[in-house]
A and B are shown apart, each in its own frame.
Chain A
Amino acid sequence: MFELLYQNIEQTVSVILFGIGLTILLLQRNLIRKIIGLNIMDTAIYLFLASMGFIGGRKAPIVVDGVTEVSAYINPIPAGLVLTGIVVSVSFTAIMLALTVRLYRRYHTLDIDVIALLAKGEDA
């Protein structure tokens, strides 16, 4: 199994990064750290996708000298998907940071547990 994992080392690393990001998201109580964890999960998935499209010994999909043979270029589809994903991840990062700023303005803390306690106290 380890030999197979070493052959697919990009994908292995992306899976490990996904796990690290998930653990940060679950265990850190600081909201900013949680958002960074989510971003790490994002980039892990982009790395996975981009590594699926790579083919050894071929060039980036930009036509040089009019050569349009399949065997000259790598797969362009994952690049397009990831390009979409990066921009969407920036948008949701901005929205989550805006929500964080609002929460901080109201409760003066970033700790998610304290915020939950304070919010419960407001309801009662």
Chain B
Amino acid sequence: MTFINIFLLGMLIVCALAVSLTRNLLTSLIVYMAYSLIMAIIWMLLESPDLAITEAAVGAGITSVLFFVTLKKIHAIKGDSDHEQTQK
């Protein structure tokens, strides 16, 4: 219990750092999605199932979908030639 708690908290920090250190925007979005799911599990461990359900549905689901659709709108997913600079 304590081990898994500390492991998940460490993974949170790793994910938060990875969001800013990865080069590709899509990668950092997927890392952010993983961050949200870890957060949902931590809330399950903190005995708040309401928050866990809401975070899993809203944070990892809807927010990420909105981010993805924005990336698609600005053509950053395929990495077209004139959008390479936007990904750094």
Contact = CB atoms under 8 A, between A and B. Distances in A.
Contacts, number: 119
Given A24-B20, A43-B59, A101-B73, A13 B54 contact: no
For chain B, the bracket of interface size reads 35 or more
Contact of B71 (A32, A46, A82): A32
Contact of A36 (B5, B28, B62, B87): B28
B81 to A, nearest CB: 13
A104 B47 contact: no
Contacts of B67: 32, 35-36, 97
A118 interface: no
Task: Say what secondary structure dominates the interface of chain A.
Answer: helix
Interface of B: 5-6, 9, 12-13, 16-17, 19-20, 25, 28-29, 32, 35-36, 39, 42-43, 46-51, 54-55, 58-59, 62-63, 66-67, 70-71, 73-74, 76, 82, 85-88
